[in-house]
Amino acid sequence: MRWILYFFTILGLNGAIAQPDFQNATLPISERVDDLIGKMTLEEKVGQVLYNAPAIERLGVPQYGWWNECLHGIARNGRATVFPQAIGMAATWDVDLMQRVGEAISTEARAKYNVSIAHGLRGRYQGLTFWTPNVNIFRDPRWGRGQETYGEDPYLTSRIGVAFVKGLQGDHPKYLKTSAMAKHYAVHNGPERLRHEFDAIVSKKDLWETYLPAFEALVKEAKVDGVMGAYNRTNGDPCCAHPYLMQEVLRRQWGFQGYFVSDCWAIQDFYQGHNLVANAAEAAALALNTGCNLNCGSTYPELINAIEQGLTTEAELDENLRELLPTRFKLGLFDPPGLVPYDAIGPEQIRHPNHVALSKEAATKSIVLLKNKDQTLPLKKDIGGIFITGPTAAHVQALLANYYGLSEDLKTFLEGIVGKVSPQTSIQYSQGALLDEPNRNPMDWYSGTAAEVDVTIACLGISQLIEGEEGESIASRHFGDREEIGLPSNQIEFLKKIRANAKKLVVIITAGSAVACPEIYEMADALLYAWYPGEQGGTAMADILFGEAVPSGRLPVTFVKSIEDLPPYEDYALKGRTYRYFEKEPLFPFGFGLSYTTFDYADLRMSTTTVTRGNSLQVEAMLTNNGDYRAEEVVQLYLTDLEASVDVPMQALKGFQRVNLWPGASQKIEFIITPEMMQLVNNDGERILEPGRFRVQIGGSSPSVRNEKLGASSLLEGFFQLQ
């Protein structure tokens, strides 16, 4: 009888098949969604809240795979442009670049989707809903997934994240180019091994001052389409069924209009890890009733049992579908082919030369120069002899990081350097050391070579084999996390042998986190931090080494000297963490990075030294390139509330600009300090304005006495009173 009734409802009087409302592109999305929901059976509705949503053939609804990744390029779906890992792109401090990277990735995403659909492929990693970016705060270098983030600062994370989301989602008035996602909401930073059972206890002050601002910015400014809940609990409630975070904050306070998805198999943790409920049906009901619209996992099929047991209702399921399904309509997945402007993007856009060039630009801007004794760098291309050595010199994994795509043109450091030097330059190469264990053959046939050449380039570091997500880092002894934050001891011993013979020693370090490397700093004549630089990392590094590009990356995290300088890993309080609350001397300060030129700051001026509540303040300074190279400087503005009623950051980043100057050129730099920037977060998590004295500092790094020892420019400072 159901089929007969359905048959007659879709026929017109003349017997022609009438178009269902959900396929009518002229109708509002809300009407189309309601029409589709009204046509589905309970079993079909349950199928649509699964990440691998099956087709509903009788309605003409195709299969859809919600799960896709693109932290630094299309991941896990074959050929794509591989950009630097997220932490490396954060080291560029370049919001315009990040938006362009997002645009390139979304173009390749549409190209790959169009090709897949044309061949009838609709599986995992072939859709348009990307579970990116990761805007968790990188509070502790032991966390293996910190490489996926934009560092330790909420403001930098917000600006980089907003730009990336805008690039991914596009600016079409009707259609999303792709759907982006803010993850992992909200307080999530490891430990990886405990994430399925861990309760992250955090004060309201830390929650609103540090852990939530980036999520808020992505929701309010970038209109991010999706939010993913974390595995852990936060202050008792699971992050994928958290009434306060998901409903009060996300939906009511911030006005989020998109969809919410669980992290993968996180709902299963409700009864297998957190022990909050007894079984899968109860877990499914708890998540659905709290507004988890989509299950990445295998728990939501139990919703049918949960409804039968009265744990939830079909009406609740319908409400979740009303929040979930609009995404597929905004992507144009129910519209006729050719109507969506992105339907015309073809496979020639995959690894388009412009995208490859953009990857190289991002890698170049991400590289941080930490030391350059006696102008060791740049090297001359016609140098007589170079010895390239170390475990990461030809290590492809050191380019890729985690959640990566694949390229036929991965440029290792060895390849980049070999391709850059003059024909007469003699180059020798030996790996010399294993990644994280002593050489099994103790014979030393490598270190003597360092005495025979003009410069030795030692490529050290780690890769996603050692740090990463819980199960993917196959060489990790700590489930992807790092128990120690220095380089593997065998690499340090290896470098000591090289140093004993080398005339000049350049060290390149790859990692996705801050490495405590004081011994390396002392031994190296020049030290470069490469992060995981993507497919063109070797070419970008060669450009830096030989002066075709000037290093301009800045650290998005603080480098501590030792793990003893950190609080316990499981402690989520910010006291003693990040540059804002770290009271000890760092190895390298947040925001630090050297150049081949020198930048001087002068003439700090403020529009007023007395600001009435609700008004802004203009600050300006003069920046001059006093060196011999055209280069980019990352100008940074920090603010400190000196008379606050509660503990506040020692300094907090409130603005930054990338400025490109020719040798001898000067430029006036201007910032606006808004009332929002002057707010503090009190112990109740409220943002308030208090009268008092403020310090303003402008320079090329965060304020730290360590800067002068490392060779950074002096910061300018001024003061104003808020009345």
d(CA 506, CA 459): 9
> In which residue are the tokens 């996180």 written?
266
Residue 314 is among the residues annotated as catalytic for this protein:
no
The CA-based dihedral angle spanning residues 243, 246, 249, 250, taken in that order and rounded to the nearest 10 degrees: -160
Q: Which of 140, 148, 216, 263 is catalytic?
A: 263
DSSP letters of 416-465? HHHTTS-TT-EEEEE--S-SSS--SS----SGGGGGGSSEEEEEEE--TT
Which DSSP letter does residue 660 get?
E
Q: Which of 436, 467, 481, 632 is catalytic?
A: 467
Measured in residues, the chain has a length of 723
Peptide bond preceding 336 in cis form (omega within 30 of 0): no
Q: Give buried/exposed letters for 180-196 (b at 16+ CB in 10 A, else e).
A: bbbbbbbbbbbbbebbb
d(CA 448, CA 451): 6
d(CA 124, CA 54): 12
d(CA 718, CA 641): 12
The pairing of strands 233-234 and 692-699 is unpaired
d(CA 309, CA 285): 10
d(CA 416, CA 398): 14
> Which of helix, strand or coil describes residue 498?
helix
> In which residue are the tokens 């990692």 written?
511
Encoded tokens for 146: 């910190």
Residue 600 is among the residues annotated as catalytic for this protein:
no
Per the CB < 8 A criterion, the answer to whether 230 and 262 are in contact is no
Which own/partner contact pairs does 683-688 have at CB distance under 8 Å and 24+ positions apart? Answer: 683/203, 683/204, 683/205, 683/646, 684/204, 684/205, 685/203, 685/204, 685/205, 685/207, 685/208, 686/208, 687/208
d(CA 418, CA 432): 18
Which DSSP letter does residue 148 get?
G
Q: Which residue type sits at 717?
A: E
Distances in Å between the Cα of 294 and the Cα atoms of 148, 219, 277, 290, 656 are 23, 18, 19, 12, 37
Catalytic residue annotation: 263, 467
